[in-house]
Amino acid sequence: MAGPEFFQTVMGRAFYEGTVPALVKELKKLNVNLEKLIEVSVYGSPKGTEIETCGKCGAPLANKGLCKCEDQAHTAPETQGQEP
C-alpha cells in the first residue's frame, strides 16, 4: 500500500492520542457507575452508607432529611394523647 500508514496521518494521530484515551476514560467512568448501580440494587445503598429513615414514620429517605410525611398531617405514636 502506497502512502503513510493510518497512525502516520493527522487523523490517525488524533485517533490514537485523542479518541482512544477518551474512550478508555469513559469506559472507566462507566464501570465505576455500573459498580455503584449494582451496589444500590444489591444492598439498597452504596457500600458503607446506611439507609436513612424518617424519625417520624420510619420510611426510607431518598433525600437527606426530607420525608413526604413532613408536609402531611402526621401522628407519631410517641406523641399520641399527649397534646392538649
Q: Which residues bind Zn ion (CB under 5 A)?
A: 54, 56-57, 59, 67, 69
Q: Which is nearer to Zn ion, 15 or 54 (CB)?
A: 54
Looking at beta carbons only, is 20 or 66 nearer to Zn ion?
Answer: 66
Residues 6 or more apart from 41 whose CB is under 8 A from it? none
Q: Tell me how far apart the alpha carbons of residues 13 and 74 are, in angstroms, rounded to a whole number.
A: 65
The CB-of-43 to Zn ion minimum distance in angstroms stands at 22
Nearer of residues 39 and 56 to Zn ion, judged by Cβ: 56
Answer yes or no: are the C-beta atoms of 81 and 70 closer than 8 Å.
no
Cβ 41 to Zn ion shortest distance, Å: 24
Residue 4's identity, in one-letter code, is P
